[in-house]
Chains A and B, each alone.
Chain A
Amino acid sequence: MRLLDVEKEKDVIVVAIEAGRSVESKLRQLGVMPGNCVRVLRQAPFRGPLLVLAGGREVALGQRIAAKIMVEEKPCESP
């Protein structure tokens, strides 16, 4: 499923990033990469960005970006 469709406060594992190289590299730098655990903390109204917890950092991801991140529902090993 897409990160965009994940419920709030649920842990998911990133499976794939279906975006260009520069977007993927930016996401990786912020801890959003295949194999890592992320959690959606909140969403801005009017179809605004998601606030995502990834590797201890909070990252804001626009909807278009979140739609390109494929995730799998799975509890993470460590918080």
Chain B
Amino acid sequence: MRIALIGQPNCGKSTLFNQVAGYKAETGNFSGTTVTFTETKVRVQGQVVNLVDLPGTYTLAASNPAEREVFTYLAGHEVDIIINVIDAVHLSQSLELTLELLELQRPMVIALNMLDEARMVGLQLDGPGLGKLVGTPVLPLVASKGQGVRNLFVAAVRTAQEGVIPIRQAFSPDIEGAVDFLMSRVMSFAEPLCTEAAVIKLLEGDAELTKALKNSQPEMIHVVEDLRLGLQHSRSRQPVWVISGERHARANEIADMVTRQGERRVLFRDHLDNILLHPVLGYLALVLILFLFFQFVYHFGTLLEEPLLNFFIGMEGMMLSWLGEGFFSQILVGLIQGISGGIAIVLPYLMPFLFGLGLLEDIGYLPRVAFLMDALMHRIGLHGKAIVPFILGFGCNVPAVMSTRIMEDRRDRFIAAALATLVPCAARLSVVFGLVAFYLGPNLALAIYLFNLVVISLTARLLSLMMPEETPGLILEIPVYRLPTFRTVAGKAWFRIREFVVEAWPVLIAGSIVLSILNYFNWAVFINSLVRPLSWLLGLPAPVGVPLIFGILRKELSLVMLHQALQVTDLSTKMTSVQMVTFAVFVVFYIPCLATMAVLRRELGARAMALIASLTVIIAMLAALAARGAALLFL
């Protein structure tokens, strides 16, 4: 049995999904966090079912790739039951999608989510009444606290087994007439989509379904066109607006019937935006929040890095004094340095960073940053929506590149993806912090981050000059602030940390061992001499060649292997401050890691990937030279 979670953006589908599946899907208090579907197996009353989490969408007729995914999925997969998650606070808008789902004529249950929020704003909802109107069970849910989850799934499985088909809400007679007429003429052409739903979409003018019809029954195309023209003529509006307008009216009608507005309490969060979105205070708050975030990551990280590093240095010394300088002790040292690189250098910064980022995401602050920064983003040729991949990029470039799907325009997606790969992700954060902040102090690390922003803005300006186009502008829902539970924030941080532990750490350890073998047989010299022109130009010691090459696999490797390449644990004995800054800046910008390149290729194609990768090398060279010049002057 397959259950699909469908709902509008930010209604809590992924939160519900994670409640039953363990943390597997990214969540956040802004629209567009889920851009593709996640499927998992869960147990409901002893039965194993497939549960699919789909991106949020306002309508099945959406135009951006992330939202279109829902329709594509429904048109391509057998789904036994739909769980339509509804944000109870915004009932009438949410019902517009529900009405569209009813047209699919598949078993469905409605989950009235965020009932706690609804109660807070004084809304009373008549769930059973709603159920009677649309012919589906309606269940109460507070997904963030796990309330009602069990009952919802039990009801879903039961409804699927009974095969109850919900009641499609009728349109005006003229539209229904057109639907009936087409139903009698058109043969099924969009399985597993039911013909009724497909026919309505044809009247709306859906491009994909029109193409499907053209392939199977080309003679019907002009019949559809005539009906559409007829509707357009009699209603003097495009059929798509006529149909969605009727859904809108019906949704309002139903919402009115089942809601009672009680007294609305004024809450603390209603005043919060007076500060956080204030024309002056808002920006001060933004700077303060980022500064505190930075300090938190730095202090938490250094608190752990020093003692951990000392512990591993001691261990290494012991190992060497036991085993001497042979081949095996070299490999063992490589192993220890790989392990210590993960525990002592990367994780101390990764943990607080991912926890803090998750907190900001779940509170709902990020869309506000988009609001504040939109004007600035316009200056550099983008709009505020591009801030989402930007901010996700600080965590990891891979989801950042994927999140460019929330943009409709390919040119916008390319620029946003190119810029997102320049954002220093958590892996590069560990290089900046583990090298520059650790040896030279946090202010210099902050300077590198600011410099990074300048370079990104310049690049953006340049790219948008090369690809000039009017961007339509920002349209973004600003969600209410929510108090996240510790469980969801910690769960999310763990979800991302686990990715490092499972995927990146083994690579770090293996890379470290490979390097110790290279060193033992003196092969590293060969690779270093290949990279020598570059390291010479940047004034870096020759042995940085191998760490830089391996850094393409995982950015953390470039720091972890640096220790080994220079054969010291205290880097300051072999590198000057200027060299550290130059190295860090180069690592921040050059070639995105392998995983990011793979996702770039998947999202935008091989050509775009190659273009972006070569662009980053040029930028990295220029930026590192500039940083070197500045460092020579000021350090």
Contacts and interface: CB of A to CB of B under 8 A. Distances in A.
Given A57-B90, A65-B475, A30 B375 contact: no
Considering the complex of A and B, which 8 residue pairs feature the smallest CB-CB distances, nearest first?
Answer: A62-B473, A29-B58, A48-B375, A62-B474, A64-B473, A46-B375, A45-B279, A65-B473
B372 A44 contact: yes
B371 A48 contact: yes
B63 A22 contact: yes
Interface string B440-470: 0000000000000000000000000000001
Contacts of A27: 475
A25 B59 contact: yes
B371 A49 contact: yes
Contacts of A55: 90, 92-93
B89 A56 contact: yes
A63 B89 CA distance: 28
20 contacts: A23-B475, A25-B61, A25-B63, A26-B63, A28-B241, A29-B59, A29-B93, A30-B58, A30-B475, A44-B374, A48-B371, A49-B371, A55-B90, A56-B89, A59-B477, A60-B371, A60-B374, A61-B473, A62-B383, A64-B473
Contact of A49 (B58, B59, B92, B474): B474
Interface residues of B, number: 43
A11 B214 CA distance: 46
B223 interface: no
A64 B475 CA distance: 10
A19 B93 CA distance: 21
A42 interface: yes
A64 B474 CA distance: 8
B110 to A, nearest CB: 19
Contacts of A33: 245, 248
A64 B371 contact: no
B299 to A, nearest CB: 32
Contacts of A19: 472
Nearest to B372: A44
A49 B63 CA distance: 22
A49 B374 contact: yes
A56 B378 CA distance: 28
Interface in B49-63: 58-59, 61-63
Contacts of B282: 44
Interface string A55-79: 1111111111100000000000000
Interface string A4-36: 000000000000000111111111111101000
B253 interface: no
B367 interface: yes
B343 interface: no
A21 B241 CA distance: 10
Contacts of B475: 23, 26-27, 30, 59-62, 65
A12 B221 CA distance: 41
Nearest to A28: B244
Contacts of A56: 89-90, 93
B62 to A, nearest CB: 8
B58 A44 contact: no
B370 interface: yes
B476 interface: yes
Contacts of A23: 472, 475
B277 A57 contact: no
B474 A60 contact: yes
Interface string B139-157: 0000000000000000000
Interface in B88-108: 89-90, 92-93, 96
B374 A59 contact: no
B478 A59 contact: yes
Nearest to B479: A58
B186 interface: no
B475 to A, nearest CB: 5
A56 B91 CA distance: 10
B240 interface: yes
Nearest to B280: A45
B476 A59 contact: yes
A35 B479 CA distance: 23
A35 B89 CA distance: 21
Given A60-B374, A60-B474, A64-B470, 18 more contacts: A23-B472, A23-B475, A25-B62, A26-B475, A30-B58, A43-B279, A44-B277, A46-B375, A56-B89, A56-B90, A58-B479, A59-B477, A61-B474, A62-B374, A63-B473, A64-B471, A65-B473, A65-B474
B28 interface: no
Interface string B498-532: 00000000000000000000000000000000000
A28 B241 CA distance: 9
* Best-surrounded residue of B93, B96, B472, B473 (most CB of chain A within 10 A): B473
A31 B93 contact: yes
A51 B277 contact: yes
B279 A58 contact: no
Nearest to A31: B93
Contact of A51 (B58, B62, B478): B478
A52 to B, nearest CB: 9
B472 A28 contact: no
A62 B478 CA distance: 13
